[in-house]
Structure 1
């Protein structure tokens, strides 16, 4: 098995296909979808999505975009399963084992919640290549995919600081866990180092033990509305499909901006009526990583080990759709350059 840290050029090209996150999910409905004609000679790719699955306009949809590109480029057969909010560890493990049993290889778990189940499944199926997004699993047949979310969030903080008119910005986290804390830490630092006079207000929708904060648009909308009522005019949400509700609330207030997450939410058809209120999105190119994982197996050299997708490799970044940040491009480019060079060290925790 080889360990690779460089993102394949072909994968980078797929970043433009990030159509819609962990930062995570949207509905609690389980799904079972197979696409592509059954052919024993075809590569069979199994994907286990986090809560929300395909159609969340965020994290899962970014993964789905990479899968779609792999299907188009390689003609792979695909089976997609989706987690439910009520899932137990046994449910997640069974989902992965069902895919491996059916001959799907690679099997990709989208979201940190699959870490324990992939650890178990990888041990039972040593000839199957597994991949996990947003966590690290120490096994010889696992590709652990992680992102420097704090770096794109720093840039989102710079953009928020330069666009706020009232010097009040907000951060909405779906679930209070270390992964989402990285988003908050980077955002806060970007704001503070651009304009220390700006006040940042943070609200998490649920505690770490309750993952429903990633799939409750109504709760995201209520949180954002509360911030807007208190004079906050730029809101960054890292909350899966709950963030869709926050974007809806922001669109209802003239002069306010929403910052999307994981995929380019300005370009999501399901959010089209709110796109003029989406300043930018902190991209997390899960599509690139998923495409790379599939391609590596197709090429006969499966990626294993830990692979970090960072700002220097375009694994994370900011979207420019809508042209709303064109006027601050020089400041954002300068911040990006300093992060890449190491002149700016972005924190991963708030404290």
Structure 2
């Protein structure tokens, strides 16, 4: 008799909630549209509709659990079917009121989570100065409020022992996850430091010597940084590795990029004329900086410079420096190529010889 009663109750509950769910599905979009019109916000209407839908499913599930628990109670206590039927309405009514109370707490928590993030967005953004960090903090606040609301909901329904077990499980899981996800957590914290200190930003051209990488920063996340290298590859580096190495930012502090090249002339060539030609070629190029610039309250000279650096085996090595504004790999290659080509042409016109490697062989008789 108990088994038959269980199946009858389960069937009735299934039909009841299936019918209720089908009715809700039929009028779901009408309800959502009406709520959106009342609140003046489509997102609020959509979210309330989702809460109702989830509430119907959870409510039906908990009714089934209640029935199964009642059947277990009957089997263990061996109560007469008549007494069970008399107790059943009270059990259902008590559970329904508890569910409504818990649902109200869950709804209030949901609304509080949404409104708190909207209310705190500007103050938090003003404190951290970075939108990505602000979003992360706001997301953490929102999830914390939602978790507290869910815990309150379960507590009202009477799942106190389950909450204690879940809390203990979460504590143990947190330790395990903390050990296993140590590198990820370190990358996350490093990302926060990078966003706070801002050694580079999206669009900056950086060089990381330890990784032999140079390129444009295209994304700075809380865990990884993406750099489009000069070879055209997308390089993804964990932030905990970036924060522990040196970085050259060509656009952060000093907006001028120094380029160093060298050339060799023969010992028979006129060194003074060669230096003069190099300076003339550099000064004629529009992309090459000339004169002095002001930076950080200081006067800095970015004019081209030419030096004799070494007497080599085959000739005299001359080194020349010049600056261009803003780092652009394509621009740098074009300027260097154009400069070397013009120097070579002028050297040929002026009789400056670029020597071939040669050796003097002495033969003893």
TM-score by length of 2: 0.22
Higher relative contact order (CA 8 A, sep 6+): 1
Which structure has the larger Rg over C-alpha atoms? 2
* Higher share in helix: 2
